[in-house]
A and B are shown apart, each in its own frame.
Chain A
Amino acid sequence: MILYDYILSPSCYKVRLLASLLGAPLDLRPVDFHPGREHKAAELLALNPAGSIPILVDGDLVLTESAAILAYLAAQKGGYWLAGDAPAAIARHQQWLDFSHRLTQALGGARLVEMLHFEGDLAALQTRGVAALRELEAALFVQRLGGQSYLIRDTPSIADIACFPYVALAPDGSIPLDPYPSIRIWMRAIRALPGFIEMPGIHRRHDLAPDPFAEVPS
């Protein structure tokens, strides 16, 4: 499986992250997204006319949507990360996967304008980003009251992985995460998953503040 990848792309990171959580090996093919704009050049446009990454190639199969790529990887590893059979769960899962595109456009868009000089209306992107974060915060708060740590249940699914990266990187687009406590707890849970990997701006989990009453070893 070849992943056309960019180290700073949150959408590519979704795929790298799930592959690592699943223990599935990927062949990475780096794409010069910035400053080279290789994703808009002939070779990659032939693979993906939309001119975006990630692109996953597995034999004859070419996938150009991160949600589809996550589903493909998860299905190959027994489906633990998928929605299961209950109609409501299937639908809610699909709802969050679709919602993740709003995060990509708004939070990801603001990040590209703020950080890498891409064109875009920053204020409008930030407004839509905040609206999406408020919606996510409300949903995760309700989940937490019901004893569920993740978006659709108490164990993680690819919907969590699809939403996590752009949310975690919202500060790159000058959108602070301080007003969203449930989002922060959810992100902490994801960062604690065995096999979690980092990307620049998304750090591994730091320990809590040291115990002030602990004995100092001499």
Chain B
Amino acid sequence: MTSHAMRDAWYPVGLLSGLSEGGKDSLLLGENITVFGSATGAPSVECSGRTLPVVRRFGHLWTSLGTPDKDLFTIPEADHPERVRVDVGVVRVKCSPLRAVENFLDIAHFPFVHTDILGAESHPEVSEYKVEIRDEVDEVWATKVEFFQPQAARSAGGGITTEYMYRVPAPTCAVLYKTCPPRPGAWDVIALFVQPLTEDLCDVWPWMALFDDESALTDLIHFQQLIFLQDRSILENQIPKRLPLDPAKETPTRADLTSVAYRRWLKRHNFTYGAQLVAG
């Protein structure tokens, strides 16, 4: 059964630029939904005869099966007029939606999964950084994450040490901010919006808002798809399939700090669709 807490959250269900007026069938938390585009700019989502609430934001259509108690989060940095906002397009992954988010938060996999792009096997170490659950906004944040990267972005000329911040504003969404090679001092924004189809199947909608005057849009899309498809190979082979959450203990077995905080936050809110409750 779907836990109530997750029914009340917002989820991406399509690219605003790719909706069809005739409707497209999909799934949300195991329930059948139909996503309708609209020539007059008012797309809608239906679920067994019910019209669901919708929000249009970040180039995507968002909906909820329940009654969200707050608006969909915002990414104020992404509104900057000089940024290029990039719809990367959907990729279906046979994995738990929570696993997809957790992998996105974990920097330690870069040298091994994104070898010679986001990480180098010769520089696997992640130095200490700060992780907190910010109660006032109810989000997980990791800051001061530093990492050596051979090709940090499409626009990077060579190896640099990149600084990252990670943010989890919704149970199946994560946003990262990283040093922007052409503009020292500014941050690139890369987000992973995950639509939970079932507990072990999801549609992932990566999205970006970048300062990049040089690269063509298609290059930016391909760069991000390359990275995400490398993750997909790993995600589909994770065992156990669902994200293990220990109902009693605070610390999961894996040591990544952001992952610990994410799991703790999920447990606190009873966000357990795609999780497996295990003691041990």
Contacts and interface: CB of A to CB of B under 8 A. Distances in A.
Nearest to B217: A32
Contacts of B203: 117
Contacts of B222: 6-7, 30
Contact of A32 (B18, B218, B229, B236): B218
Contacts of A44: none
A174 B93 CA distance: 11
Nearest to B231: A200
A35 B204 CA distance: 13
A35 B59 CA distance: 13
Contacts of B218: 30-32, 36, 38
B221 A36 contact: yes
B90 interface: yes
Given A6-B222, A7-B222, A35-B89, A200 B15 contact: no
B94 A8 contact: no
A34 interface: yes
Contacts of B92: 114-117
Contacts, number: 51
A58 B219 CA distance: 22
A117 B230 contact: no
A217 B218 CA distance: 47
B94 A7 contact: no
Q: Is the interface of B mostly helix, strand, loop or mixed?
A: helix
Contact of A117 (B90, B219, B232, B233): B90
Interface residues of B, number: 24
Interface string A1-35: 00000111000000000000000000000111011
B225 A7 contact: yes
Contact of A201 (B15, B89, B217, B232): B232
A215 to B, nearest CB: 23
Given A115-B92, A116-B89, A117-B90, A35 B216 contact: no
Q: Which of B87, B88, B92 has the most CB of A within 10 A?
A: B92
Contacts of B17: 35
A31 B91 CA distance: 17
Interface string A187-218: 00000000000001101000000000000000
A30 B216 contact: yes
Contacts of A31: 218
Contacts of B230: 200
A115 B216 CA distance: 25
Interface in B97-139: none
A117 B221 CA distance: 17
A116 B90 contact: yes
Given A7-B225, A32-B218, A200 B233 contact: yes
B160 interface: no
A38 B232 CA distance: 24
A201 B229 CA distance: 7
A26 to B, nearest CB: 15
A35 B229 contact: no
Nearest to A113: B92
Interface in A33-77: 34-36, 38
Q: Which of B15, B91, B218, B232 has the most CB of A within 10 A?
A: B218
A203 B231 CA distance: 12
A36 B89 CA distance: 8
A35 B88 CA distance: 7
Given A35-B87, A114-B92, A116-B92, 11 more contacts: A7-B225, A7-B226, A30-B216, A30-B218, A31-B218, A35-B18, A36-B218, A115-B92, A115-B232, A116-B91, A174-B94
Interface of B: 15, 17-18, 87-92, 94, 203, 216-219, 221-222, 225-226, 229-230, 232-233, 236
Sorted nearest first, the 6 A-B pairs with minimum C-beta distance are A200-B229, A35-B89, A7-B222, A32-B218, A30-B218, A34-B89
